[in-house]
Structure 1
Amino acid sequence: MTQPPLSPDQSETDRIDRLTRRLDREREARRQAEALLEERSRQLYLANCALARQAQELEQRVVQRTAELVQERERALALAQQDQLTGLANRRSFTAVLADACQKRRLSGGRVTVVLIDMDQFKIINDAHGHEAGDVVLREIASRLALACEGGTAARLGGDEFALILDHLPDSEADQAFVGRLGAMLGQPVSFNSRQLDVSASIGYASLPDHAASSTELLRHADLALYVSKKAGLSLATGFDDDLWAEANERRLLELELVLAMDRQEIGPWYQPIVDGANQRVLGVEVLARWHHPYRGLVLPGVFLPLAEERNLLGQLFTQIAMQACTETAPLVRSGKLAYVSINVSPSQFKSGSIAAAVGLILNQTGFPATSLVVEITEDLIMSDLARARRELRELAQLGVRIALDDFGTGYSNISSLSSLPIQWLKLDRSLISRVGDDRVGQVIVQAVLQMAQALSMDVVAEGIETEVQARWLVEAGCRKHQGFLYGRPAPFDELQLTLPKEIKIEQDARIAQRS
């Protein structure tokens, strides 16, 4: 059935309804879009806030880390210039400050004084009370130096060596007065675990421009003054002066001459006999270095050996002396006229770990019988590094040579240490032997050492014998190997031959002729 057509009013109403619904849909869509946009904007805002917080935190962390790095850098710089035990300047910082102070003095005038301090017998404190006590002493000495330097620079150069740089002392009298007060201050006892440890120091000082033209020269002259103080005794202070200046120049000249002497083989072996005290028969010899200077005459080892040590020449010197000594005495050993030849090892060579190789090379090149060579090592050298000594001495023992502990009685070795080392001889220091003539205490000490050596199956050689009374007492006590001025002073090889049968000299001359 066909619907009747809509009236005009009805059609308009329907159109309006459609438009209204359409408008409602558009409004709803707009509302939803605005709500979504608002939600997205809120989320973006929150995200921006979170990023801002993170950026702020990151910036704070960067600032904090930067500050930490600055502190670490400053701490590293301080550590590079500061001694960790005492808090004083270290050697590197001391050298830089001294160079700067001397440069400023050249530009503006004034004086710079360097004071070097070396603790006396510091090793005894470490050995007797332990390294903790030693550290306490070093820190206390550092504190006293920092207090005494009055605005200058106090430094620990290493070990028990200290230094001061002072620029406020007007003249040499002020230097002397300051050093006098300093010595008294450093000589005060140090408290440790309810004990009072006795301490003292040797001092050397010099000033610029009075005694030097550069920081290097100033330090060298202060060091020379310190050397004089240490050599003269305990708790002394020495200022550099014209006499020391002349001595320094002489020392530098002698250093240059020493190098030439090595090349020219002016330094050679002399021999001091080791005898049987009961019958005066020569058993062996100790090799001692002597320098035949072309115009100074005979230079004793106490003069040139310290120079050789400073110039790092002791290893070369040992090889040169030992090579010549073994070549000269090998025929006497093979013929049975000498039972052994004893030679001293330099401390620097022993510490370098090359002594066994050097001795092996000498034995191979000279053909000297290894069992007739005695290598002497000082007691303090062994005890300063027992582990190294044990290793080095075992390598020497493997070569077949005998090992002697020289200057026994001056150090701090003990039975346990001796029994762990391949030592066949003990050489009693002359300080012990000098007391056996009429000193009951000295006799008891030597008797105890002889009994200990017998228990350890060691031979004993008594050094420094100068009187018949000493010799007789030692023989009666059971010590027959003797050495000292009573039996003969060190002498060249030609004079040594005069103490032996003539045919040995002829045989030696024949062997030399055959080699040439």
Structure 2
Amino acid sequence: MRLSRDATPGEDGGPASDLEEARLAEVAAYCPTMGLPDAEFDHVVELAVALFGVSGAMISFVERNEQFFAARRGVDAARTPRSQSFCAHALDRISPLVVEDALLDPRFADNPLVHGPPHIRFYAGAPLRVSSGAALGTLCLINTEPQGFDAHQRRLLESLAGIVVDRLELRRSRHNSDTSRRHLAKLAHTDALTGLPNRMRFHERARQVLSERGAGALLLFDLDGFKDVNDVFGHATGDRLLAAVGERLSGLIEDDHLLARLGGDEFVILLGGGGDARQAYRVAESLRLSFQQGFVVDGQNLQLETCIGVAMAPHHGETIETLMRHADLALYRAKAEGGGAVGYFEPHVRHKVEARRSLQSELTLAFERNEFELHYQPQVRLSDRKVVGAEALLRWRHPERGLLPPGVFLDTLETMPLSARVGDWVLRTAIGQAAHWLSAGARLRVAANLSPAQFLTGSLPDTVAAELARHKLPASLLELEMTERIAVKNTAAVASMLSGVRGLGVGVALDDFGTGFASLSLLKDLPVSRLKIDRSFTKDAVAGGQDAALIEAVLQLSRAFDLDVVAEGIETAEQAQLLTDARCSEGQGYFFGRPMPANDLLALIGGGRA
């Protein structure tokens, strides 16, 4: 039975009545198991209601004259006439049928189920298409209010429908031949995407290996950058990437190595040798270096890195459960080092790793509870000491430890996916604050720091443009700051996104300039409008000294490239005067003002103290 995405009975494969009779025969074949209680069906509809935030969900089977529900939530009736069924309209589709507002759809506007219980305004139904190609019914969602339904939600609904279909097939196959039962057993122990052993099978075989040999090495790793692939290219590409990773890893391991996919982007290898740490490192390095080739998926050259955590048996544990736990700690430590590191479990660092994980959990809760806030440090024009701008600096209002500076948490935050969301929040908040200052009569440029994660999605120029438009803020009053460390990591991609930002009229400042991360070629490669002289040069600067000479060199360089300059870390009148005499345009530091709440900065300007 071949169906196009929106095919109707009779378009391909004979008269509509023949197709429908064949479908009804399949419904009858599966129906004998429908009277059996199945907690999994109940779990699916409960999960669907929770995931999609709807008023009801059903597993519906459409017979000749009516439909019945094998499981339901939010609906009282166990059966409804087929003539009133939304689900009947979804049977001839491949993709889900979505009705965002039933009152606006002529097929359903007069339906009794719309105007009476369960008062359906929104409907989404994914066909339950079994192995023969016939659709028995649907997994459907309903809501009493109209709503949208995006592509991600459609895929999620299709995945849940697939679970229902799998359960139906398992029920029908219960009394099949020994061959079918062996096939199902294999499916239960095999990862569907990669064909590798799954978590259950890995644990079974690992226990056997460890009990027989008593020694081995466990290598645990995940894919750095995989989430970005899913976000940018979609989950279908992500799935094919996982399959490609599994294929490559399979070609690298020896016959006595046990490779498995544990789930998500997490893989594991058990080396069943004599627990040789040097061999474990050689294998880990081979795996890590293999990722440098990239993966071509759907015409895209996708680059990933992997960090690997290693635990040795029996030194780090005698059971697979202990080894997995300790390899996970080693992986966590390796990821903190960055750059595709290989880390071994060390008992003395366990508390440090666990403390870092605890901090990550706290940071996630802090973001959800709106505990982050911005303080603003004034930036002063040195010629007349007028405040012309402010740098937005992140602070954490911890419920127990009080106001925390970024040095306490920023390194940990930048290793988390949360980093991009916090960075976008900083950007939005800073733009909104600059707009508020402008409406209060203070025309101040605000500088917002960018996190490395904000360059991964490719949406930075669009985000900036949208926020400027929303707050009606002139682009000249926004400046984005990044460190040399970010700039050198992927100069081409960073330059492309910053060019988009500069095209809006927004300034770009290179922070920590001169601290040694980058070469001078960055000034040619990046669309920078301002340099920030690092505080390490200003804190000990005296006339005629080496630091003063370095400052003068940076200032001459900035003039050659037609760049503005802000000198950070000015703490004394002597430093301020030295920089003024050197014709540095702007300064920032405790001498002019510490980071402060937005209202305090406005009061400072009004009071004329800078």
State the TM-score, normalized to the length of structure 1. 0.56
Post-superposition Cα deviations, 1:336-360, rounded to whole Å, max 9, x if no partner, equal 5343110011111123211111111
Partner of 2:438: 333
**1:293 aligns to 2:402 (yes or no):** no
What are the residue-to-residue correspondences of 1:247-258 with 2, within 5 Å?
Answer: 247-258=352-363
Deviation at 1:435, TM superposition (A): 4.5
Moved more, 391-400 or 277-286: 277-286
2:388 is equivalent to residue 259 of structure 1 = no
Counterpart of 2:456 (choices 351, 355, 377) is 351
User: Which structure 2 segments of 5+ residues have no match?
Assistant: 1-195, 221-274, 293-304
Change (3 A) 1:155 1:475: same
Distance 1:162 1:388, change over 3 A: closer
Which residue of structure 2 lines up, in the alignment, with residue 453 of structure 1?
A: 558
Superposition pairs of residues 93-242 of structure 1, within 5 angstroms:
103=207, 107=211, 149=278, 154-156=283-285, 157-158=288-289, 167=312, 207-208=316-317, 213-225=321-333, 240-241=346-347
User: Structure 1's 149 and 312: CA in aligned 2 closer, same or farther, altered over 3 A?
Assistant: same
1:471 aligns with 2:576: yes
Greater shift in the superposed pair: 156-165 or 466-475: 156-165
Q: Find the structure with the greater CA-based Rg.
A: 1
SS at match of 2:562: coil
* Residues 496, 108 of structure 1: alpha-carbon distance in 2 compared, 3 angstrom cutoff: farther
How far apart are 1:404 and its partner, in Å?
A: 1.0
Greater RCO (Cα-Cα under 8 Å, separation 6 or more): 1
Opposite residue 219 of structure 1, the aligned amino acid is A
In the alignment, the residues of structure 2 paired with residue 101 and residue 115 of structure 1 have an alpha-carbon distance, to the nearest angstrom, of 15
Instruction: Quote the Cα distance in structure 1 between the aligned partners of 2:283 and 2:544.
Output: 47
Contact 1:344–1:377 (8 Å) recurs in 2: yes
Distance in 1 (alpha carbons) for counterparts of 2:433 and 2:599: 10
Tell me, in whole angstroms, the C-alpha distance in 2 between the residues paired with 1:306 and 1:217. Answer: 24
Corresponding position of 1:310: 415
Report the counterpart of residue 426 of structure 2 in structure 1.
321
Shift, 1:457, TM fit: 1.1
Q: Hey, what's the Cα distance between the residues in 2 that align with 1:276 and 1:307?
A: 34
Give, in whole Å, the separation in 1 of the partners of 2:216 and 2:535.
Answer: 45
Sort the Cα spacing of 1:365 and 1:315 in 2 relative to 1 into closer, same or farther, 3 A.
farther
Deviation at 1:309, TM superposition (A): 3.3
- Please state whether the residue corresponding to 1:269 is helix, strand or coil: strand
- Give me the whole-angstrom Cα distance separating, in 2, the residues matched to 1:245 and 1:255: 15
Matched residues in 2 for 1:238 and 1:397: separation?
A: 44
| Residue 246 to residue 421, structure 1, CA distance change in 2 (3 Å) | closer
Contact residue 309 and residue 331 of structure 2 kept, 8 A: no
Question: Deviation of residue 304 (structure 1)?
Answer: 3.4
1:476 positional shift: 1.3
2:600 alignment partner, SS class: helix
Whole-Å Cα distance in 2 between the matches of residues 391 and 229 of structure 1?
27
Contact kept, 8 Å, 1:149 with 1:164, in 2: the verdict is: no
Residue deviations 1:344-403, cap 9 Å, x none? Answer: 111111232111111112112222221110111222322333322332122101212111
In structure 2, C-alpha distance between the alignment counterparts of 1:476 and 1:484, rounded to whole Å:
17
Moved more, 340-349 or 421-430: 421-430
Q: Contact 1:382–1:389 (CA<8 Å) still a contact in 2? A: yes
Counterpart-to-counterpart distance in 2, 1:151 and 1:377: 38
Shift of 1:270: 1.1
The 1:112/1:483 distance shift into structure 2, 3 A limit, reads farther
CA distance in 2, matches of 1:413, 1:152: 31
- 1:384 and 2:493 are equivalent in the alignment: no
Letter paired with 2:284:
A
2:390 aligned with 1:282: no
CA contact (8 A) 2:534 2:568 kept: yes
1:369 aligns with 2:441: no
Mapped to 1, the partners of 2:306 and 2:374 lie a distance apart of 35
C-alpha distance in 1 between matches for 2:329 and 2:530: 42
Q: Structure 1 440/246 Cα, relative in aligned 2: closer, same or farther at 3 Å?
A: same
CA distance change for structure 1 residues 424 and 417 in 2, over 3 Å: closer, same or farther? same
Deviation at 1:238, TM superposition (A): 9.4
SS at match of 2:511: strand
What secondary structure does 1:272 align onto? strand
Residues 274 and 149 of structure 1: is their aligned pair in 2 closer, same or farther, counting only changes over 3 Å?
same
Contact kept, 8 Å, 2:308 with 2:331, in 1: the verdict is no
Judged with a 3 Å threshold, the aligned counterparts in structure 2 of structure 1 residues 152 and 319 are, in CA distance, closer, same or farther, namely: closer
3-state DSSP class of the match of 1:155? helix
Distance in structure 2 (CA, Å) of the matches to 1:477 and 1:501? 29
> For residues 281 and 443 of structure 1, what CA distance do their matches in structure 2 show?
23
Deviation per CA, 1:20-41: give whole Å up to 9, x if none.
Answer: xxxxxxxxxxxxxxxxxxxxxx
| Residue of 464, 487, 502 corresponding to 2:592 | 487
Tell me the distance in 2 between the aligned counterparts of 1:99 and 1:264.
38
CA drift at 1:468: 3.2
Cα RMSD between the aligned structures?
A: 4.2
* Greater strand content: 2
Alignment match, 2:529? 424
Contact 1:267–1:321 (CA under 8 A) maintained in structure 2: no
Question: Compared with structure 1, are the counterparts of its residues 109 and 282 closer, same or farther at alpha carbon in structure 2 (3 Å cutoff)?
Answer: farther
Structure 1: stretches of 5+ with no match in the other structure: 1-91, 117-145, 172-206, 231-236, 504-516
Relative to 1, partners in 2 of residues 1:228 and 1:258: Cα closer, same or farther, differing over 3 Å?
Answer: closer
Query: 1:426, CA displacement in angstroms?
Result: 0.5
Instruction: State the match for 1:506 in structure 2.
Output: none
Conserved? CA contact 1:101–1:112, under 8 Å = no
Count residues with an aligned counterpart: 342
Structure 1 Cα separation of the partners of residues 524 and 312 of structure 2: 55
Q: What is the deviation of 1:213?
A: 4.3
Distance of 1:109 and 1:420 partners within structure 2: 56
Residue-by-residue CA offset, 1:294-344 (whole Å, 9 max, x unaligned): 223223323433444333122221222222222233232355534311001
1:72 alignment counterpart = none
SS at match of 2:284: strand
> Aligned in 2, Cα 1:100/1:352: closer, same or farther, shift over 3 Å?
farther
Given residue 220 of structure 1, which amino acid in structure 2 is its aligned partner?
D
TM-score (norm 2): 0.48
Inter-partner Cα distance in structure 2 for 1:461 and 1:260: 35
The structural deviation recorded for 1:469 is: 3.1
